[in-house]
Amino acid sequence: MMAIAMRLRPGEDLKVMLDRFVKEHYIKAACMITCCGSLQQATIRYADKKDADVLKGKFEIVSLTGTLSEAGSHLHISVSDEKGQTTGGHLKEGTVVYTTAEIVIGILTEYQFDRIFDPTSGYKELLIKL
């Protein structure tokens, strides 16, 4: 595995920038190693819900985990508010950096991730190729 570090700046969209990065660098398979920072808006889709909720305010990124590739990503985020209350779910576009997002991505050079529709779940799910 090879690691790449990056920093997002205020106003940048966390999901958009991660997806753009893997596409621009032709990354076939990657995973989130770590991410810390803050958000001014979090767009999260909760378990078994069709639509995402948009949370406005100041949030700390508590965790960001998942898989990425130029074929698509599947990322989960946890954020905490000013009272330390934490929520999490699927990271969606519209999640906006407040001060910074410090990110380390692991590139899995021996793999290729693809996304194919799974009729059981109703979503595009991970297909792992060696």
CB atoms within 10 A of CB 79: 24
**Helix, strand or coil, per DSSP, at residue 2:** strand
pLDDT at 38: 98
User: How far apart are the C-alpha atoms of 63 and 68, rounded to whole Å?
Assistant: 16
Reading phi first (left if > 0) and then psi (alpha if -120 to 50, else beta), residue 27 is in: beta
Range of the domain at 74: 2-129
Whose tokens are 């190693």? That residue is 33
Domain count, the chain: 1
Residue 46, pLDDT score:
98
Going by C-beta distance under 8 Å and a sequence separation of 6 or more, which residues neighbour residue 39? 14, 58, 59, 60, 61, 79, 95, 96, 97, 98, 101
Furthest-apart CA atoms within the chain: distance in Å: 44
CA distances from 128 to 6, 21, 55, 77, 110 (A): 25, 20, 33, 22, 10
Instruction: Note the pLDDT of residue 11.
Output: 98
Residue type, 96: V
Q: What is the CATH number of the domain that holds 82?
A: 3.30.1330.80
Residue-level pLDDT, tens digit, the chain, 130 residues: 999 999 999 999 999 999 999 999 999 999 999 999 999 999 999 999 999 999 999 999 999 999 999 999 999 999 999 999 999 999 999 999 999 999 999 999 999 999 999 999 999 999 999 9
